[in-house]
Structure 1
Amino acid sequence: MGKEGSLERGLMTQGSESRKEAARPTPLLTPKTTIKIGTWNVRTMYETGRTAQVAKEMRSYNISLLGLSETRWLQAGQLRLATGEMLLYSGHTEDGAPHTEGVAMMLSQEAQRALIGWEPVNSLIITAKFATKKNNINLNVIQCYAPTNNDAEEERKDDFYQRLQAVLDKRRNKLKDITLRMGDLNAKVRADNTGHEEKFRRLWSDVRVMRGADVSSDHHLLVMSARLRLKKYSTNTNPRKRFNVGLLKDKDIQTSFKLNLSNRFQPLQELLKEEDTDIENQWQQVKKGWLDTCEEVFR
């Protein structure tokens, strides 16, 4: 067992910890296309061939973005696989640190084109931002791995949740963005989105546990379908009223309508004779007379 054997690491190239492109990123979430996002505790990627194995399962299930927990890699960085996937990882950075914990995100080429930037927070939290089809709305993904009750001190667990809350609060300040939190929380795999229920319909659907995925982990791969679903709002702040003019077939209602309209327009005719009354004001008075008559007769 060793940290990514020389053959596999030789098939990768290392990049920087952030990505900025002059060209606009290609959207990852759109209203018309459904993508798959997954999260998986792989137990370790500190073995020769394990990264390639994870990438193979990712392609097999057609996953665009895969969050990984317990990778056991040290430091933080960015690797590109020979098969086209990109791995963003975050682990312990102190000297002599053990190969424990560690989080990562594996990106398909589709997700790479949508990547705006990413941040390795610590060995338990990593974040990435992706473009969506909606202008000025980004998708923030937070992959985390909470210390388990068995091997974590209370102080360390408290520190984890404080850091996670700080990351969430920072993303919530971006009022238009969507935030997806996923990963291991108290040994329970979960994924959820936070905020914007008033702007977006349910983003995630068809959440499934893929028991057939195998990387020698005792945890199962969790996959969800995602699509940008926007609620529709009417831009008409003054909708036109509709009246049941069919009621005018009734002779009594027809007589009442004519009388009501005549009574309203008789004083209006005197107003229209005034020279200082502009055309816009005249039109508003005429319109008001018709609407008031309709509301009175057809109510």
Structure 2
Amino acid sequence: MKRHNSTRVKAPDYYNPPVQPSGLHKTEQNEATTPKPIGRYDEVPRAGVSPCRAPIGRAAADKPKERKALLTTKSIIGIGTWNVRTLYQSGNLELLLHQLNKFKWEIIGVSETHWTESGEFATEGYQILCSGYTDIHRAGVAFILNKVAQQSLLGYNHVSSRLLSARFKTVTGAMTVIQVYAPNMADKEEDVDQFYDHLQVLIGNTPGGDMLIVMGDLNSKVGKDWQKWNAVMGRYGYGDTNARGEKLLSFCAANNLHITNTMFKQAKDSRQWTWESPDGKTRNKIDYVMINNKWKTSISNSRSFPSADVGSDHQLVISDLRVKFKKKQKAPFQKTDSVKQDYEVTIGGKFAPLMNLDTTDVEDIWTGVKIAFNDTSNAVLGSKKSNKQEQWISEEVIHLSKERSKVKLKKLENPSLKPRYNYLNQEIKRKTKGCKDMWIQGLCTKVEHQAAKSKEVYATIKVITKKPTIRMQTIKSKDGRVLTGQTEVKTRWKENYDELYNENQLGNIISEDVR
């Protein structure tokens, strides 16, 4: 008989069998279409006794603890995601935690854990929340929380093997974080649609005032067409867009989400992409951290970390957050009796010391009066900023101007750049004229719409027809010579006032008028 060769490889003797995370609390699997934000461990209702409700994943008998705010205006926190490919093999979890110790973070979402249980457990000082299948070692998502995040955890909801959400206390209220693992390209399109339907239900059940973060392996390429999708992504995308990327962008637009790791320019290309093919020739960005647009200004940076390695073809992505509040706008000043009274009382207190001054120096008295009025006005009335004229020069012209400045410096050493310098000169002139014409056309259109409001019409016409006022800043002597020296200028002013207020000359003028 012929001997057939087998492609199977015998497992080595030193191979350790796969293990499940120890100390895991089993919980009932929850469907994505019916997420339960609280009360999974509620007590059985009894007559005359109100059931005690507890946060998700915790027994009702646990004594509630005071939660600390995770996100504040003074601290920056790190929230990241990583597809580790598997944590089912022995030692993979420990290696993952060892790698994460090199970075600053509070919450890390993990995709493809391949664990078959759902719940929470603790290891090496970290709390791990996980959700997976009940029978097969596939997919699976999890959260890893450090001690700061543990003290802020309000509850969590293990929806399915692809969706896991947790809620944390913040200085503004609460923050909901959703870790996802989308179907890959080998899965059917029906699975992708079902995934987004379940994610939509989970987002819909999130409290409206929460800061919302959705992150994980979306298996979608959003590309870099930021001009078309500027509401959901930044200028620094990566690669091309595919069909599932279009689906993700549409989903973000429908839910007012912004992709944070497209917002910032990175010094190296390796900080942009998140996935690399086995042969190392193809790289894409398919892992994302998304936040609702209301809070996107709280993101200070978001990038990949190529130095983190757990044997996965995906890179760790971390976003830095810090709460930023808008400055409260002062209400327009209104003259009221109370303001008038406050002003009189304050100015009276400022003037009282001036009445008892021993000095007769006019300069000292005037300085005291000026300070009194300025301090009182700023304290009681406040200040009003002047309305600056709208800038009509476009950003393109400003960019060309900066480029021209650089070329000007370089052409001193490289004369061949002179044609480029001349071209930039012509372009700046042409585009500046076009910007001015467009600006005037816009003001004319504004006048047409303001025909019924005469005050606004005259104000707009004044802006169009106003010419710059040229002021004389020099002083000339009697013979017409321009005076530049400080002593000469003072002497000329003295001569002018002596002639203007000279008593003898004034008498001569009166005498001539009488005659």
TM-score normalised to structure 2 length: 0.41
Residue 18 of structure 1 is matched in structure 2 by: 57
Q: How does 1:167-246 map to 2 (within 5 A)?
A: 167-171=202-206, 174-187=207-220, 188-195=286-293, 197=294, 200=295, 202-234=297-329, 237=331, 239-240=333-334
Instruction: Measure the CA separation in 1 of the matches of 2:147 and 2:179.
Output: 19
> Does the 8 Å CA contact 2:25/2:118 hold for their aligned counterparts?
no
Q: 1:31 to 1:212 in 2, by over 3 A?
A: same
Matched, 1:116 2:159: no
Residue 133 of structure 1 and its aligned partner are, at CA, apart by 1.4
Offset from partner CA, 1:135-154 (integer Å, 9 cap, x none): xx20100000000112x112
Cα distance change on mapping 1:72 and 1:221 into 2, 3 Å: same
Tell me: CA distance 1:114–1:166, structure 2 relative to 1, closer, same or farther (3 Å). same
Unaligned runs of 5+ in 2: 1-15, 28-55, 221-285, 336-515
Distance, in Å, in 1 between the alignment partners of 2:105 and 2:95 is 14
Are 1:128 and 2:128 counterparts?
Answer: no
Q: Distance in 1 between matches of 2:114 and 2:24?
A: 20
Within the alignment, does 1:87 sit opposite 2:128 as a pair? yes
Question: What are the Cα deviations for residues 162-186 of structure 1, in whole angstroms up to 9, with x where unaligned?
Answer: 0001111111xx2221100000112
> Which of the two has greater helix per residue?
2
Contact 1:15 1:79 in 2 (8 A): no
Partner of 1:31: 73
In the superposition, relative to structure 1, how do residues 13 and 125 fare at CA in structure 2: closer, same or farther (>3 Å)? closer
Residue 15 and residue 55 in structure 1: after superposition, are their counterparts in 2 closer, same or farther (change >3 A)? farther
Q: Which residue of 2 aligns with 1:285?
A: none
Q: Would you say 1:144 and 2:185 are equivalent positions?
A: no
Q: C-alpha separation between the residues in 2 aligned to 1:180 and 1:157?
A: 20
| Cα shift at 1:4 | 2.8
What do the CA deviations read for 1:13-71 (whole angstroms, capped 9, x no partner)? 64876247623311111010001111000000011111111112222202110000011
Following the alignment from structure 1 to structure 2, what is the Cα–Cα distance between the partners of residues 180 and 117?
Answer: 15
2:19 matches 1:4: yes
SS in 2 for 1:99: coil
1:4–1:45 CA contact under 8 A, matched in 2: no
The residue that corresponds to 2:199 in the other structure is 164
The answer to whether the 8 A contact 1:103-1:123 is kept is yes
Query: Residues 24 and 119 of structure 2 are in contact (CA less than 8 Å); yes or no, is this contact kept in structure 1?
Result: no
How much has 1:205 moved relative to structure 2? Answer: 2.2
Structure number with larger C-alpha Rg: 2
Aligned length: 225
2:177 is aligned with what amino acid? V
RMSD of Structure 2 on Structure 1 (CA): 2.2
TM-score, normalising length: structure 1: 0.70
Seq. identity, %: 33
Residue identity in the other structure for 1:98? I
TM-aligned CA deviation for residue 206 of structure 1: 1.3
Does residue 64 (structure 1) correspond to residue 100 (structure 2)? The answer is no
Report if the CA contact (8 A) 1:32-1:227 is conserved.
Answer: yes
CA distance in structure 1 between the partners assigned to 2:313 and 2:161 by the alignment: 21
Q: Distance in 2 between matches of 1:201 and 1:121?
A: 26
Instruction: Render the CA deviation track for 1:172-209: whole Å, top value 9, x for unaligned.
Output: xx2221100000112510011125x2xx4612221121
> Which amino acid counterpart does residue 84 of structure 2 have in structure 1?
V
Contact 1:209 1:220 in 2 (8 A): yes
1 CA distance for matches of 2:110 and 2:144? Answer: 8
Question: Could you say which structure has the greater relative contact order, defined with CA pairs below 8 angstroms and 6 or more residues apart?
Answer: 1
Gaps of at least 5 residues in structure 1 are 242-299
Q: Which residue identity lines up with residue 223 of structure 1 in the other structure?
A: I
Greater strand percent: which structure?
Answer: 1
- 1:101 is aligned with what amino acid? A
Structure 2 partner of 1:288: none
Q: Larger deviation: 12-21 or 63-72?
A: 12-21
For 1:155 and 1:21, locate their aligned partners in 2 and report how far apart those are by CA, in whole Å.
44
- Residue 84 of structure 2: aligned partner: 42
Sort the Cα spacing of 1:2 and 1:229 in 2 relative to 1 into closer, same or farther, 3 A: farther
Aligned counterparts of 1:118 and 1:203: Cα–Cα separation in 2: 23
Q: Which runs of structure 1 show a deviation greater than 2 angstroms over 4 or more consecutive aligned residues?
A: 1-5, 12-17, 19-24, 236-241
1:108 CA displacement: 0.4
